C-alpha cells in the first residue's frame, strides 16, 4: 500500500480519493467526501451510460455486472443518494466500491475520467 492509501500501481484519480474518503475519512471532513463522491458517482454513471448507448447488449452487460456489486440492487444515482443521506457503513463501503468500479469500466472503454 502506498502512503496515500491507494494500491501500488493505481492512478491518483479524484474518484479514487473520494472513494477512499468514504471509508477512511475522519468525521470532520466526511461531509465534503459525501458531497464530492455523490456528485462524482452521478457524473461517472452518466459517462458510462452515454458510452454504452448504441452498442447492442452493452448496457445489459453493465447492469448485470453492477448487480453483482455490494448494494447492486440500487442504481448508481440511488446509491449516491443513499450513502449521502444515511451515512451507514454498508452504504459508504458500497459507494467506495461502486466509484472505483465506474472508473474501471470507463477505462475499459477508453474514456478519460480524471
Q: 2 lies in a domain?
A: no
Q: How far, in Å, CA of 110 to CA of 52, rounded? A: 12
pLDDT exceeds 90 at position 114: no
pLDDT exceeds 60 at position 9: no
Domain count along the chain = 1
Listed in sequence order, the DSSP H helices in 2-88 are 14-24, 30-52, 58-67, 76-86
- Tell me the C-alpha to C-alpha distance, in Å, between residue 59 and each of 16, 24, 66: 24, 32, 10
Contact 51, 90 (CB under 8 A): no
pLDDT exceeds 50 at position 12: no
Full residue range of the structural domain in which residue 78 is found: 14-108
Q: 1 lies in a domain?
A: no
Q: 53 lies in a domain?
A: yes
Q: Which residue has the higher pLDDT, 1 or 56?
A: 56
Which phi-psi region, left, alpha or beta, contains residue 20 (left: φ > 0; alpha: ψ -120 to 50)? alpha
Q: 62 lies in a domain?
A: yes
Could you count the other beta carbons within 10 Å of the beta carbon of residue 46?
Answer: 12
Q: 7 lies in a domain?
A: no
Could you count the other beta carbons within 10 Å of the beta carbon of residue 75?
Answer: 13
Q: What is the pLDDT of residues 24-67, one digit of tens each?
A: 866 767 888 888 999 999 999 999 999 888 788 888 899 999 99
pLDDT exceeds 50 at position 11: no
DSSP state of 112: -
Amino acid at each position: 500500500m502506498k502512503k496515500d492509501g491507494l494500491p501500488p500501481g493505481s492512478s491518483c484519480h479524484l474518484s479514487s480519493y473520494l472513494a477512499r474518503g468514504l471509508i477512511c475519512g475522519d468525521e470532520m471532513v466526511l461531509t465534503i467526501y459525501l458531497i464530492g463522491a455523490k456528485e462524482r458517482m452521478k457524473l461517472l454513471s452518466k459517462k458510462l451510460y452515454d458510452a454504452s448507448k448504441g452498442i447492442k447488449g452493452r448496457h445489459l452487460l453493465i447492469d448485470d455486472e453492477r448487480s453483482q456489486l455490494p448494494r447492486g440492487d440500487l442504481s448508481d444515482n440511488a446509491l449516491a443518494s443513499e450513502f449521502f443521506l444515511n451515512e451507514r457503513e454498508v452504504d459508504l463501503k458500497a459507494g467506495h466500491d461502486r466509484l472505483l468500479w465506474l472508473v474501471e469500466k470507463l477505462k475499459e472503454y477508453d474514456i478519460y475520467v480524471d
